[in-house]
Amino acid sequence: MLRGVCQYAPTIIFGELVTRIVTFKVGLLGLGTVGTGTVQLLLDAAGRNPLLQELEIYRVGVRSLDKSRAVNLPNGVLTTDLDEVVTDPAVDIVVEVLGGLEPARSLILKAINNGKHVVTANKAVIARYGDEIFEAANAAGVYVLLEAAVGGGIPVIQPLKQSLSVNRIHSVTGIVNGTTNYILTRMQTEGSSFNDVLADAQKLGYAEADPTADVEGLDAADKIAILASLAFGGRIKLQEVYCEGIRSVSKTDITYAQKLGFVIKLLAIAKRDTPLLPLSVRVHPTLVPQTHPLANINGVNNAILVEGEPVGQVMFFGPGAGAGATASAVVSDILNITAVLKTKTHESRDILHPLLACSHHDYCAIAPMEELVTRFYARFLTQDRPGVIGKLGTCFGDRGVSLESVVQTGVEQELAEIVVVTHDVREGDFGHALAEIRELEAIDSIPSLLRVL
Ligand SMILES: NC(=O)c1ccc[n+]([C@@H]2O[C@H](COP(=O)([O-])OP(=O)(O)OC[C@H]3O[C@@H](n4cnc5c(N)ncnc54)[C@H](OP(=O)(O)O)[C@@H]3O)[C@@H](O)[C@H]2O)c1
C-alpha cells in the first residue's frame, strides 16, 4: 500500500536529473516530557544524523492549547484535534507519546489504517494490544517501532530485533523500572523504610502521586512482556506474566540480604531453561548476588542483561527515563523509518523490511510459577526454644528442599528470627513445605519470602 504523500524534489546529480525525497512529515501526539524532548531533538539537528534535517514536525496534538510550552512551534502546528493528526494525508510518521491506554490505542490503529508509520513510547498499549496493532500494521504495510517503550534511552529493542537475533536467547533479565530501583537503592544505602523513601521520591518527582504501576511491578511486567516477545519470537499474554512488587520488601530483609552477600532488586525476567519448553516470565523482588552485573545498577538507572548462544552475556545500561534520553530512542525509531522510506523504490514499496517489521503470530507458552526452579530466601519468626530449626529442616527435607544457609539471629519480643536460603528448588515443592511449616506450633509468622537469582 502507498503511504502518506511525501514531497519530492528534482535534483541534479552528475548531470542527471534524479528525484529524491527531501521531507518526511511527523505528526506528534503529545507534547509532555517525551514529546517536548522529541521536538527539541528534531529542531536541533546540527551535528546529528543528517537524515534528521529531512524531517518536519508538521502537526502536534495536545489536550490544551493554552498551556505554556517549552518549545516554539510555528502557528497552526499545535492542535487539539488528534484525529486530524493521524488522518492528515501529508503526515508520514505518527509519533504517539500521549501515554495511557485510550485514546492512544485507537489513535495508533487509526494512524495505521491511514497508512502512517507509527513510533510509540507506550509500553502499556503495546503489552496489552500489541497483537491487534501489529496485525493491523502488517496488513497496512507500515512499521510500528517502540524503542522508547522499554529502558528509556537504552537501545535494547532494535538490538534484540537485529544484532542479537541470530542467537538462541536463554534469558533476558532487567532492572527496567527506575522508580523502584531508586527506592530500593535508597533503602539499601540509608537503611530507610519503603514508605519513607516512597514519600521522598514522590516529593522529588521520581515517583508518581499514584505509584501503583511502578511499586506493584505492573510497569516492569509490561516491559518484560515486550522484551520476552522479541527475545523468544512469540507473543506474550500479559495476564500470564507473574508480577509481584516491592511494597513488602523491608529494611530488615535488605540488611539480612547484605549480610548474606546479596542486594535486593526488582527484576523482570524472561527465561527458557530448555529449548522448546515453556518460558518463565516474571517480575518480583529478587536477592541478587553482590558480584552479579545487575547488583550495582543503582538509582533511576536501568539495565538489561541478555544471555544467548553463542554470544554469551551482553548488558545494556543507561537512563531508563527522562525527556532527552527517551527522545533519543523515539527519534532513533523515526530515523530508522526515514532511512527505509528514503531507499524505497516503486517496486519495493509494498515490502516491509523484515528486521523492522513484526513477524510473530504465535503465542509463547508460559510455565506456571509452581514449575519455576529457583533459590528462595525466607525469614521466620518463631518461638525462642530449642528444636525449631530441626523442625523447619524436617519439613523442608520431606519436600526435597535443601538448605544452603540457616541463620538464627536476634530475638525480638521473645521471638527468634531465622533466615533460610535454599538451594534450587521447584517453587511448588517449596510452597508445600511452607504450608506445613505454617502449621507448626513454634512458628509465629513468615514475614518475608523472596526469590534468589
Ligand atoms: N517520561 C519518561 O521519561 C518516559 C520514558 C519512557 C517512556 N515514556 C512513555 O512516553 C509516553 C509519554 O510520557 P510523558 O511522560 O511524556 O507523558 P506526559 O508528560 O504526561 O505528556 C503527555 C502529553 O500527551 C498529551 N495528552 C495526553 N492525553 C491526551 C488526550 N486525551 N488528548 C490530547 N492530548 C493528550 C498531553 O497534553 P497537554 O500537554 O495538553 O496536557 C501531554 O502533552 C508514555 O507512554 C510513557 O509511558 C515516558
Residues 46-105 have pLDDT tens digits of 999 999 999 999 999 999 999 999 999 999 999 999 999 999 999 999 999 999 999 999
Which phi and psi (to 5°) does residue 7 adopt?
-90, 135
Active site residues: 223
Predicted TM-score (pTM) of the model is: 0.94
Atom of ligand 1 nearest to the CA of 219: 47
Q: In the chain, what percentage of residues exceed pLDDT 70?
A: 94
Supply 34's cell numbers. Answer: 517525551
Cβ-in-10-Å burial (0-12, 13-18, 19+) of 339 comes to middle
Quote the pLDDT of residue 9.
44
Q: What angle do CA 154, 160, 164 make, to 5 degrees?
A: 115
Is the pLDDT confidence value at 8 over 70? no
Per-residue pLDDT tens over the stretch 350-367: 889 999 998 888 999 999
Distance 29 CA to ligand 1 centre (A): 8
CB 228 within 8 A of CB 127: no
Per-residue pLDDT of 200-232, as tens digits, reads 999 998 999 999 999 999 999 999 999 999 999
How high is the pLDDT of residue 294? 98
Query: In the predicted model, is pLDDT for residue 279 greater than 50?
Result: yes
Check pLDDT > 70 for residue 181: yes
Q: Could you tell me the pLDDT band of residue 349, with boundaries at 50, 70 and 90? A: confident
Residue 45 has pLDDT above 80, yes or no: yes
Q: Mean pLDDT across the stretch 290-298? A: 98
Distance (Å, rounded) from C-alpha 234 to C-alpha 130?
A: 11
User: Among positive and negative, which fits the CA dihedral 126, 130, 136, 142?
Assistant: positive
Predicted pLDDT of residue 172:
98
pLDDT at 361: 83
Nearest protein Cα to ligand 1, atom 8 = 121
CA distance 318 to 245: 22
Tell me, in angstroms, the distance from the centre of ligand 1 to residue 330's CA.
13
pLDDT of 22 higher than 80: no
- Residue 281 above 90 pLDDT? yes
Any idea how long the chain is?
453
31 lines ligand 1 (CB under 6 A): yes
pLDDT bin (cut points 50, 70, 90) of residue 233 is: very high
pLDDT confidence of residue 2: 38
**Does ligand 1 have an atom closer than 6 angstroms to the CB of 243?**
no
What is the pLDDT confidence band of residue 414, given thresholds at 50, 70 and 90? Answer: confident
> Would the CB of 330 count as within 6 Å of ligand 1?
no
13 confidence band (pLDDT: 50, 70, 90): very low
In the predicted model, is pLDDT for residue 10 greater than 50? no
pLDDT of residue 7: 54
Give residue 345's pLDDT band: very low, low, confident or very high (50, 70, 90). Answer: confident
